[in-house]
Chains A and B, each alone.
Chain A
Amino acid sequence: MSFLTASRATTARPAHDEALRAAGRRASSAPVDWERLSGPELIDALDRDLGEASDRLSYLVLALLDRGVPSTARVVEFTRRWRVDGLSAPLTAEYRRGRAPRRPRPFVIVDGVIMDVTDTSRSRFTTGIQRVARETVTRWGRGHDVVLAAWDVTGRQLGALTAEETGRVLLDDSVATVPVAAGTVVIPFDATFVLPEITVAAERTASVRSVVRFGTSRSVAIGYDCIPVTTAETSGPGMPGAFSEYLATLGHFDVVAPISSAARTEYSGWAAMLPGAGLAPPRIETVSLPAEVGSVDDETVDRVRAELGLVDTPVVLSVGSHEPRKNHLALLTAAELNWRAGHEFTLVLVGGNAWGDGEFQHMVRTLRRKGRSVQMLSGVGDDVVWSLYRMARFSVFCSVNEGFGLPVVESLVSGVPVVTSDFGSMRELGEGHGALVVDPHAPADIAHAMGRLLVDDELREELVALTAGMPRPTWDDYAARLWTLVDGPSAGSSVPEVDVVPARDGVAGA
């Protein structure tokens, strides 16, 4: 017994007692009746029975006391104090630290599959990433036991979702995930942690790192792309820095699953950098995104065509957010060259999420003043988008870097040829399946390809025919393949052991 515990009386802290009892139950195999212990006796029992000092156990104890995720530095420092002074001294210091919470939140220790769906559960919009998360989670929920969790606004507490949040994540109400009462803090321990989103909020990123290092036996992340770092010139301020820290966190994962072979190229290159820091890189396993698109009937197509005034004009379609990376200025320049050459068509631009688009807006105004036929649509429903694909002569998607390139797939699966970039994922998806590939940095090249497709019916027919050969993996394929990385032969059991502790005021944990 260290002199630190002997000299002062320790005020009772019921919330801390609950936390430490849970630690004892979970991490010790000694035949102790933890419920009977509290305060200094409880601490001493843990000192005797938890075993050797380790970061894993330090993390568990601190996470339970905090009802949140402790930082890496705090965990390492606690382990060092434990090793030098024994567990009682540092644990007593933590026990006495800070104010006792008035209403300590209920918590649950989870060792099964946990999915971090923070952004997906909060957002009403559908970005590409959230679409992947929703489709995957929904399917996993049908056949496996999965706990859904989200970080709070401080980025330090991982908690169960409310019914509304769960509704935003699951595409099918009949799917059930492991039920955990809203407001319960989730403490991953020997868990399988899955990150289907990215995290660029600093605290959340650091907390995920701590969880993955100390609280998991397996961790899997979906790798979308490394663009904020490999193509920083197209990123808004703050993003490259935040994304770099997200990559540093990914470095601790067991598996990263890139969504395309182009994304794989980026992740593999990054992974090859890690040994310089003595880190073993994660396994990189490509799981290509599917090619499922919606459909609309002929009536809807005609209605949309009439509504948008596109009845007597060839339609050239561009779908994508208005940001520098999507390279719209080159598209507008190429379109203008074609109008000057006497070609008649309407350029329809579908996209929202605009930033850095001042010059783009200016150019559109200029073109319209000249009488060019340009239509800009944003926030339109799926039926409008699929109708536009159906009526388009071809689409254009000449981004300067893409992890995947969904508009290329959407176009080709709809049977519409596309002018796209001659490298990376766009080329891989499009070449041989109905795309013309060009140098996106050369507007004249883009213009030339557009001109050919506007005029050459035979060429267009050939390309349309090639779209039939476009591979069309489904979301079912994707979810199943990704699951094999989560629950592979080396993973733990897929049925989580849920250790539930009721809150002080009697509200049950689950």
Chain B
Amino acid sequence: MTGRTPAAELVADEIGALRAALGARLAVVAPALGVDVDGLTPSEALDRLARSVHASGDASAAWLLFVGVTATFPSTTDLAALRRALLLATPATAMLVVLERTMDVQARIHSGFRTLELVTDEVLVDVDFCARYEHNTGIQRVVRHMVPEWADRADEHRLVAWNQDSTGYRDLTETQRDRVLHWGDRRFEKSDDPSLTDAELRREHVLVPWRTALLVAEVPAFHVCDTLTSIARWSGTDVDLIGYDAIPLVSADTVPNAESERFAHYLTIVKHARRVYGISVSAADEFRGLVAALPSQGLTGPEVVDVTLATEVSPAARAAAAAVSPVPGADPVVLCVGSHEPRKNQDATLFAAELLHREGHRFRIVFVGGGSRTATLHFDRRVAKLSAAGMQVESHRRLGDDELWALFGTARFSVFVSLHEGFGLPVAESLALGVPVVTSDFGSLDEIAREGGCLQVDPRDDTAVVDAMRTMLTDDDRHRELLGEIAGQHPKTWRSYADEIWTAVTA
């Protein structure tokens, strides 16, 4: 050891430790590849594994070896490059090829100290956004209602999120579990996840799906789509997806290009998935259309089934709505609830209300829902102008749950004439809170409306929207009929939805 600088010592120690960590990971993957590496040094183990993978030419084996060496899931291009290189290698040079083809990712990610665990006996459930963020959009609400219903199957499934550099799955922290499982009764205060220190990042424990089932419960972020496709193709794992909608494709003109771009990349996973659970018949049909396009690229694609969402609302919401009633003699309240964007068609609702006001009808119309500034600026100006001219119209970008439920308690009807929905929770929730709805006459909204309590219109026909709203305001008999239909409805429970999904995923 003479002549070594302190820096050299540091590096030597580090190299030794990295070598040992590599050896430990290879020992984890070797049994799954049918290779015995007991008693071998890390380089001997790697040589034996490389030779085995080279000999088999098996894509899954190459995938798992890549994971074993780097503690990261390979991209589709990295894996294809490794396979090509192995094809051109010999048994003796296989190890060199593996090292060369994993060098770039290792030099970037520094995952050399990470540990691995293969998950083969449990269903993995990817709840990434729900775990890591405090947002609660439609998709997150579905996951946060569904997953807690699986509490009695805790030992059969494992919740996972992406690690910080998006190269592998990890277990959730306590705070993250809280966000997913206890959204309604939080044990920890709302917070942002702290950034991990370099030291923590180095030593992460990576969960590897291997010949198991993986349910992707949300719509994954753009940058993990390729990695998920790689898992679907080569980890031997059945990847199932909850199919929310294909709005960014079918109605691409109503969403930003970036969203359509992200959806197109999401489709690369769909192509290799086992099954898609459409949240409505309409959403399922959209995915069926996509699957029908696949044979021209030599793929059959996933099976698509309908598993419609739950329509029940919380007892707290029902109680809050029931505690309030319309004030006798007061002008009827009309509600329009939903995020504010072009596709939700609030403009048509506001226009219809304006026409009815000019006809002399008296009512108060309340719009509730957040939206981007571009989407809401022009609308809110129009509301202000109409209000100044004597119409009772309000727009609330942010409203607490209690206030919202109370509004439902006083409302005569709600309006939701969206141009395209995957499901239409605002309609289901209005009905569950006892309030009839004017809604669209096609797609998923039609599926909900057919159960009763709704007037249906062509949302692109201004006259039809006005006529339906006028009926709701003035035709007491019809209104009573709709209330009667609602009284006989039995909302689908989250328990029921969760059971259906679980049964299908584990079948």
Partner of A265, one of B76, B296, B460: B296
- B264 close to chain A: CB less than 8 A: yes
Bound-state Cα–Cα, A258 to B312, Å: 45
- B355 close to chain A: CB less than 8 A: yes
Q: Please tell me if the beta carbons of A270 and B295 are within 8 angstroms of each other in the complex.
A: no
| Also in contact, A228 and B264, with CB within 8 A (given A209-B253, A278-B419, A278-B443) | yes
B81: A residues at CB distance < 8 A: 329, 359
Interface string of B82-120 (1 = CB under 8 A from A): 001001100000000000000000000000000000000
Q: Please tell me if the beta carbons of A265 and B268 are within 8 angstroms of each other in the complex.
A: no
| Also in contact, A240 and B261, with CB within 8 A (given A233-B76, A276-B283, A424-B298) | yes
- B167 close to chain A: CB less than 8 A: no
B430: A residues at CB distance < 8 A: none
Q: Please tell me if the beta carbons of A262 and B84 are within 8 angstroms of each other in the complex.
A: no
- B289 close to chain A: CB less than 8 A: yes
Q: Please tell me if the beta carbons of B295 and A248 are within 8 angstroms of each other in the complex.
A: no
Interface string of A231-248 (1 = CB under 8 A from B): 111010110111111011
Bound-state Cα–Cα, A396 to B230, Å: 27
- B240 close to chain A: CB less than 8 A: no
Q: Please tell me if the beta carbons of B289 and A241 are within 8 angstroms of each other in the complex.
A: no
Q: Please tell me if the beta carbons of A244 and B293 are within 8 angstroms of each other in the complex.
A: no
Bound-state Cα–Cα, A336 to B89, Å: 11
- A269 close to chain B: CB less than 8 A: yes
- A171 close to chain B: CB less than 8 A: no
Interface majority SS on A: helix, strand, loop or mixed?
helix
- Which residue on chain A has the smallest CB distance to residue B293? A269
Bound-state Cα–Cα, A449 to B419, Å: 51
A75: B residues at CB distance < 8 A: none
Bound-state Cα–Cα, A263 to B295, Å: 10
B245: A residues at CB distance < 8 A: 276
- A272 close to chain B: CB less than 8 A: yes
- B500 close to chain A: CB less than 8 A: no
- Which residue on chain A has the smallest CB distance to residue B358? A84
- A194 close to chain B: CB less than 8 A: no
Q: Please tell me if the beta carbons of B263 and A244 are within 8 angstroms of each other in the complex.
A: yes
Interface size on A, residues (CB 8 A): 62
- B458 close to chain A: CB less than 8 A: yes
Minimum distance in angstroms from A345 CB to a CB of chain B: 18
- A330 close to chain B: CB less than 8 A: yes
Q: Please tell me if the beta carbons of B289 and A271 are within 8 angstroms of each other in the complex.
A: yes
A241: B residues at CB distance < 8 A: 252, 257-261, 264
| Also in contact, A230 and B297, with CB within 8 A (given A241-B261, A249-B253, A273-B289) | yes
Bound-state Cα–Cα, A83 to B289, Å: 38
CB-CB contacts below 8 Å: B280-309 with A: 282-283, 285-286, 288-298
| Also in contact, A233 and B229, with CB within 8 A (given A241-B260, A268-B292, A273-B250) | yes
Q: Which residue among A209, A278, A422 has the maximum number of chain B CB atoms within 10 Å of its CB?
A: A278
Partner of B296, one of A83, A272, A273, A425: A425
Interface string of A313-345 (1 = CB under 8 A from B): 000000000000000011001001100000000
- A80 close to chain B: CB less than 8 A: yes
Bound-state Cα–Cα, A359 to B100, Å: 14
Bound-state Cα–Cα, A113 to B297, Å: 35
Bound-state Cα–Cα, A87 to B296, Å: 51
| Also in contact, A244 and B248, with CB within 8 A (given A277-B419, A443-B87) | yes
Q: Please tell me if the beta carbons of A278 and B442 are within 8 angstroms of each other in the complex.
A: yes
| Also in contact, A278 and B459, with CB within 8 A (given A241-B258, A245-B252) | yes
- A450 close to chain B: CB less than 8 A: no
- A465 close to chain B: CB less than 8 A: no
Q: Please tell me if the beta carbons of A423 and B295 are within 8 angstroms of each other in the complex.
A: yes
Q: Which residue among B246, B265, B286, B296 has the maximum number of chain A CB atoms within 10 Å of its CB?
A: B296
- A138 close to chain B: CB less than 8 A: no
- A491 close to chain B: CB less than 8 A: no
| Also in contact, A240 and B420, with CB within 8 A (given A226-B293, A359-B81) | no
Q: Please tell me if the beta carbons of B80 and A329 are within 8 angstroms of each other in the complex.
A: yes
Partner of B293, one of A76, A83, A266: A266
Q: Please tell me if the beta carbons of A265 and B293 are within 8 angstroms of each other in the complex.
A: yes
Bound-state Cα–Cα, A266 to B297, Å: 9
- A400 close to chain B: CB less than 8 A: yes
Q: Please tell me if the beta carbons of B250 and A248 are within 8 angstroms of each other in the complex.
A: yes
- A421 close to chain B: CB less than 8 A: yes
- A275 close to chain B: CB less than 8 A: yes
Bound-state Cα–Cα, A209 to B264, Å: 21
- Which residue on chain B has the smallest CB distance to residue A237? B261
- Which residue on chain B has the smallest CB distance to residue A424? B296
- Which residue on chain B has the smallest CB distance to residue A235? B264
Which residues from chain B sit less than 8 Å from chain A, CB to CB? 57, 76, 80-81, 84, 87-88, 226, 229, 245-253, 257-261, 263-265, 267-268, 282-283, 285-286, 288-298, 342, 347, 351, 354-355, 358, 419-420, 440-444, 458-460, 462
Which residues from chain A sit less than 8 Å from chain B, CB to CB? 73, 76-77, 80, 83-84, 202, 206, 209, 226, 228-233, 235, 237-238, 240-245, 247-249, 251, 262-263, 265-279, 329-330, 333, 336-337, 359, 400-401, 421-425, 439, 443-444
